[in-house]
Amino acid sequence: MQNDSETGTSTKPPKLNHINDWGWWKERLRTYVQGQGQDLWMCFFTAFDNDLEVAGSNPTTYSTMSDDDKKKFELEKRAFMILTQALHRDIYHQFVYCTTTKSLWDMLTLRCEGNAQSRKIKQELLKKEFEGFTCMENETLAELSTRFHHLLSEMFAFRVTATPQEMVQRFADSLPAKWSSFLEILKQNGVLDTITVYELIQKLENKDVEEKLKAKRTLTPQNPEMYYGIAGGISGEKPDSQHAKLQTAFISNTGLSTTNQFDPSAYTMMYSRPDSSSQQQYVQPTAQQFTPPPFLDPSRAQQQQPQQQGFYGSSSNFQATSNPNTVRLDTSNFSKVSVEIAKEHMEMLNTLVSA
């Protein structure tokens, strides 16, 4: 019943229960009265002839009035009836001395909106409120948008104008920091320049619902076995790679050469696998007479200290010999290796080491 009283029905006008409700009530009443007839709404702004008031109030003189005068009198009384029924008793009691529709309407407007100076002050306050509009602490998106709509309605009632783009920008700036990423996407796509504030709020509400639904989702157990290609799909282990593992071999000097001949026994083959427990393996080749290639300087070998070795990893693993990953190389054919081939292999090994 209270809701019907505030909004009105097809047979009852909306009721002004408090002076502070003047802004929205004024627009509701205008819509209602114009729905009953535009001539009724014009009575709110047209002064009624006092002679017609006197003549129409007396039964004797009313019968002598013309049909046009009778129509004006009846129209005025009907408009006055609608206006008085729309006012709360406490409010109407303040204006009982107003006997015409226009006089009562003018006094209500002055009482609720004030004079020109007070309206100007109100307009300035609304402008400042609009320019400084921002989200309050712990305010939800629904509460923020509702408050913004009330502000726009009050601005409209006091004829404070703002362009659609200004409304969009003002509301976007008022949002909390968590919306920054979403707003940046809309800005980069040019959406903010083409939508209204009502469309922006709708997009934000849709996004808010999506985020709330994501937060409520339960974690689903994952089964990587379904897409790792494991035979049977129940082993729980990833399949081993079918590719050969990377291996690296090095040659290092292990002894002092006193001749100009290359001594393979003074060199050690070092082999490494990435997955081996020991990062270095050593294979001592058999001694063979070998003519030193030009790129090996015998005089440099003279300057080296005995038992000097090059290796990867910790020196504590130097004596490791019984590792299952050890690969033994046959170096008996070193004497058949040409200088060009040796150079190529050394350059390739140097590239691998550098990499």
Q: Where are the domains of the chain?
A: 2-113, 116-216, 248-354
pLDDT of residue 318: 43
- pTM of the prediction? 0.49
pLDDT of residue 310: 43
Residue ranges of the chain with pLDDT lower than 70? 1-8, 229-337, 355
pLDDT for res 8: 61
178: CB partners within 8 A, 6+ apart: none
Q: Which of 111, 103, 92, 101 is nearest to 42 (CA)?
A: 101
The pLDDT, as a whole number, for residue 312 is 41
Residues 6+ away with beta carbon under 8 Å from 269: 249, 250, 251, 282, 283, 284, 285, 329, 331
